[in-house]
A and B are shown apart, each in its own frame.
Chain A
Amino acid sequence: MNPEILDVWKRPLAPEPREEMGFFTDTTLCIGCKACEVACKQWNQLPADGFQWTGMSYDNTAMLNSVTWRHVAFVEQFDGDGRQPRWLMMSDVCKHCVQAPCQEACPTGSLIYNEFGDVYVQEDVCNGCAYCVAACPFGVLDRNAEDGRAHKCTLCYDRQKDGMTPACAKSCPTESIQFGPVSELRERAERRVAELHARGETDAYLYGAEPSGEYSALNAFFLLKDHPNVYNLPEAPRRPSAHLKKNYLASFAVTLAMAAVSAICFARKAR
C-alpha cells in the first residue's frame, strides 16, 4: 500500500501554539519594485506564470494565483487635466483571515491554522475539490491545473519554523511589507496612521486590522489610501458561512415539509 495514503490518516500531536505572526503591508511605502514577487517565487520554487504584457499598467502579474503568492497592484489616478497623477501601489497577498472561509469550507481538513495562527494548505492532504477557491472572498486560492491541488501563500511556514522572516518581507527594500507578531504590527500600524493623519494624509486607514461586522480580522492586513475596490479588494467582505445554520435549517425545513406532504398523500390514497 502506498504509505502516503496512510500518512494523512495519522494524527500526530499538534505543535504548541506560538505567538500569532502576520504581515502589515503599508502601501504608502511601496515603490512597486516587485522584489517581493521575485523573492516569493524563488524561495517557494514557484514556476513563472507566463511572459506577457497586460497592456493596462506596469502590473503584468494581474492577480494572485496558485503559483503567484505576492502580486503588486499598480493604481494610476489622474485628476481632471492629468497633471497631478497619483500612484498607489500595493503588494497583495493571502490575508490569512483569523476566521478563514477557505478553512471552514475545506472538506478534507487540508486547510488548517498552523501554530503561528496562519492559514496553511497541507498539500499531502488536499484532493483538489476546489471548495476553497469558490469560498475565498478575496480570490486568493486557486487550483493548479498541473498538479490538481490548491496553493497559496504559506506565510513562509518553513522559514518561520526556523525563526526566519518570510522571503517577501525580507526582500522588501522600503519596509512596506512588515512581518512580526500581529499585536505588535497592529500597534505599529496605528501609530503610522496617526502619523500620516498628522501630516494631513487623512485618507490613510487600516484594512483588516480588527474584526468588522461578520468578518474576522486579517493576520495580513494593509494600510490603504483609497477605497478598497480601487485595489481590487472588497469593501466589506462577507463570511460565506455567516448564514450556514440558517441555510441548513431553511433547506431542511422545506425538505421535511415535502417529505411530510408525500407521506400524507400516500396515507390518503392508502389501502
Chain B
Amino acid sequence: MTAEQLTETAALALVRRSEPAAAGQDYYGLPMLKRPLWGWEIALYFFGEGISSGAYVLATAADFFGGPGYRRFIRVARILSLATMMPCPPLLIADLGRPERFIHMLRVFKPSSPMNLGAWALMGFGIPVTLLGVAPWVGVRLPVRLISLLGLPPALIMMSYPGVLLSTTSVPLWMHTRMLGALLASSSMVTSAAALALVSAIHPFMDQRAREAMRQIEKSAHICEAVTMAAFLIRGRRVATPLTRGRQSRLFWYGAVGCGLVLPWLINRAQGKKAGRGSTIASALLTLAGGLALKWSIVHAGHESALDGDANRCVTRATEANPGWMRH
C-alpha cells in the first residue's frame, strides 16, 4: 500500500463513520478491515454472467418443456447467452492483480472457495454455450439436447454463486444476511428475461404464447427479487447503511429499486396483457438498468462497508453462539 492509499483509507474511515463508537472503544477510527478490491469489472461481470446463465436456463427449459413452437426462441436465447458470456472471462482476468496467471484458478478444485467453484462453472458453462450458440451456423450436426443438458448444472451454479461469493467474506454488508445469493440470482433471471423481451421487441422472434410465458416468468422473478431485497434490507438494518444511505444509495434507490422494480411494475400494470412495443422496450431497458445498478451498488457499497468500523464492530459482537475470548 502506498502512502497515499494509506492516508486515503484512514481519512475515509474518519470521515465516513456514521455512528461513533463508545468513547475509547475503537482505535483512532481506523477500519478493522481492508477494502475489498473488486470494482467495475466484477460488477459488469455479475451483470453479464447473470443474463448469460439466465438466458441459457430459459432456453433449456423451453427446449424440454415448451414443445416445437419455441424453436426460434431457443435459438435467440442461446445466441444472447453466448453474446453476454463472451465479455465475462476478459472482465475477470482484467480484475486480477496478475492477469497472466488467471489459469491458476483451475489448478485445484476447491468448492469451499466460491470463486474457485465459479471459475470451474464458467469453464463448464462456456464450452456448451459456445457450441450451442454457433451450432446453427456450422455444418456439423451436434447432439444439441445432450450438450444443453450438460451445460445446465454449471449454468445454475453461475446463476446462484455470485451472492454466495460475496457472502463468504468479512465485509459486514455482504456477510451479514443470507439473502445475497437469492437476491443476485433472481436479479439474473429478471435481467435475462428483460434482455430477451428487448430483443424480441426489436426483432420479433417471439409469438404471442412465448411473450405471455416470458411475461409470467419475468413477473415471478421480479416478485422473488423484491421479496429477497426487502428481507436483505430488513435483516441488514444498520449494516446495510452503505447501500441505503451511503455513496451508493442514489444508485441503489433510484436505479435498483426505482428503475429495476417499481417503474417496470407500474408500466406492466398500466399496459396489462396487450403491452405495446414502446412500453415493452421501455420496461425491458429499465429492468436491465436496474439489474446493473443493483449489482454495481452492492459490489461498490462493500468498499464502504469494509471501512465502516462501527458496522464491523456491530457484526462481530460476542453472542452466546460465538462468545469471543474476552471474559470479565
Contact partner, B104, options A108, A229, A235, Cβ 8 Å: A108
Inside 8 A of B213's CB, which chain A residues have their CB?
262, 265-266, 268-269
B15 contacts across to A, CB distance below 8 A: none
Q: Tell me whether A177 is interfacial, beta carbon within 8 Å.
A: no
12 contacts between A and B (CB under 8 A): A49-B2, A52-B7, A104-B168, A127-B101, A129-B95, A134-B302, A227-B326, A228-B324, A234-B32, A247-B181, A254-B181, A262-B217
How many Å lie between the Cα of A17 and that of B65 in the bound state?
A: 55
CB atoms of A109 and B110 under 8 A apart: yes
List B157-179 residues whose CB lies under 8 Å from chain A. Answer: 159-161, 163-164, 167-171, 174-175, 178-179
Q: Are B25 and A134 in contact (CB under 8 A)?
A: no
Contact A142 B28 (CB under 8 A): no
Cα distance A134–B31 in the bound complex, in angstroms? 13
Distance from B145 Cβ to chain A, minimum over Cβ atoms (Å): 15
Task: Point out the residue from B61, B114, B170, B313 that lies within 8 Å of A101, measured CB to CB.
Answer: B170
Interface residue from A108, A262, A263 paired with B107 (Cβ < 8 Å)? A108
Shortest Cβ distance from A146 into B: residue: B2
B57 at the interface (CB under 8 A from A): yes
Q: How far is the CB of A270 from chain B (nearest CB, A)?
A: 4
A127 touches B178 (CB 8 A): no
- Contacting pair B324 A213 (CB below 8 A): yes
Please determine whether B182 and A134 come into contact, CB atoms closer than 8 angstroms.
no
Assess whether A134 is in contact with B105, with CB atoms less than 8 Å apart.
no
Q: Closest Cβ of chain B: how far from A67's Cβ, in Å? A: 7
Query: Once the chains are docked, how many angstroms separate the CA of A83 from the CA of B156?
Result: 64
Binds A, one of B67-75, B126-134, B263-271, B279-287: B67-75
Is A236's CB under 8 angstroms from B323's CB?
Answer: yes
Interface segment among A23-31, A37-45, A160-168, A203-211: the answer is: A203-211
B10 at the A/B interface (Cβ < 8 Å)? yes
Q: Is the CB of A251 within 8 A of B161?
A: yes
Bound Cα distance A128, B224 (Å):
35
**Which residue of the partner chain, among B21, B164, B328, contacts A248 with CB atoms under 8 Å?**
B164
With known contacts A230-B27, A235-B326, A269-B212, A252–B104 Cβ distance under 8 A: no
B40 within 8 A of partner (CB): no
| Interchain CA distance A49-B2 in the complex, whole Å | 6
Asked whether, in the complex, the Cβ of B2 is within 8 Å of the Cβ of A50, the reply is yes
Contact of B97 among A49, A130, A137, A263 (CB under 8 A): A130
In the docked arrangement, what's the CA distance between A212 and B161, Å?
29
Judging by beta carbons under 8 Å apart, are B68 and A234 in contact? no
Chain A residues engaging chain B, CB cutoff 8 angstroms: 5, 8-9, 49-52, 54, 56-57, 59, 62-63, 65-67, 73, 75, 77, 101, 104-110, 125-131, 133-145, 147-150, 203, 205-210, 212-215, 224, 227-238, 240-241, 243-244, 246-248, 250-259, 261-271
A182 to B322: give the CA distance in the assembly, Å: 23
Check A266/B316 contact, CB under 8 A, given A212-B325, A230-B24, A251-B164: no
Residues of B within 8 A of A261 (CB): 217, 220-221
Contact assessment for A256 and B167 in the assembled complex, using a CB-CB cutoff below 8 Å: no
Q: Which residues of B contact A57 (CB under 8 A)?
A: 28
Give Cα distance in the complex from A149 to B97, angstroms: 6
Contact with A along B27-49 (1 / 0, CB 8 A): 11011111111100000000000
> In the complex, how many angstroms separate the beta carbon of B240 from the nearest chain A beta carbon?
17
- Are A203's CB and B328's CB within 8 A? yes
Tell me if B306 is interfacial: C-beta within 8 Å of chain A: yes
Does B98 lie within 8 Å of A149, measured CB to CB? yes
**In whole Å, how far is A100's beta carbon from the nearest beta carbon of chain B?**
12
B318 engages A134 (CB within 8 Å) = no
Q: Is B96 part of the binding interface, using a Cβ–Cβ cutoff of 8 Å?
A: yes
Evaluate contact between B319 and A135: CB separation under 8 angstroms.
no
Question: A136 touching B325 by the CB < 8 A rule?
Answer: no
Inter-chain contacts of B146 with A (CB < 8 A): none
Are B168 and A137 closer than 8 Å at their CB atoms?
no
A264 CA to B4 CA, complexed, in Å: 56
Whether B135 is near chain A, meaning CB under 8 Å from some CB there, is no
Q: A206-B325, A235-B313, A235-B324 are in contact. Are A105 and B104 (CB under 8 A)?
A: no
- Chain A residues positioned under 8 Å from B104 (CB to CB): 8, 108, 110, 125-127
With a cutoff of 8 Å between Cβ atoms, the chain B residues found around residue A148 in the complex are: 96-98
Whole-angstrom CA separation of A198 from B164 in the bound complex: 48
Choose from B58, B99, B168, B170 the contact partner of A136 (Cβ within 8 Å).
B170
Residues on A with beta carbons closer than 8 Å to the beta carbon of B30:
62-63, 232
The answer to whether A238 and B315 touch across the interface, beta carbons within 8 angstroms, is: yes
Which B192-213 residues sit within 8 Å CB-CB of chain A?
209-210, 212-213
In the bound assembly, the distance between CA atoms of A238 and B171 in angstroms comes to 10
A215 partner, pick from B57, B224, B322, beta carbons under 8 A: B322
- Residues in B with CB closer than 8 Å to A51 are 3
- Asked if B112 contacts A269 (CB within 8 A), the reply is no
Give the residues in chain A near B28, CB-CB below 8 Å: 54, 56-57, 59
Bound CA span A268–B214, Å: 11
B57-93 vs A, CB cutoff 8 Å, 1 = contact: the mask equals 1100110111111100000000000000000000000
The smallest C-beta distance from B79 to any residue of chain A, in angstroms, reads 18
Contact A236 to B317, CB < 8 A, known contacts A107-B116, A270-B66: yes
Residues in A neighbouring B181, C-beta threshold 8 A: 247-248, 250-251, 254
Q: Does residue B312 face the partner (Cβ distance < 8 Å to A)?
A: yes
A-B contacts besides A259-B61, A259-B156, 5 pairs, CB < 8 Å: A108-B107, A130-B37, A135-B170, A264-B65, A269-B209
A251 touches B163 (CB 8 A): yes
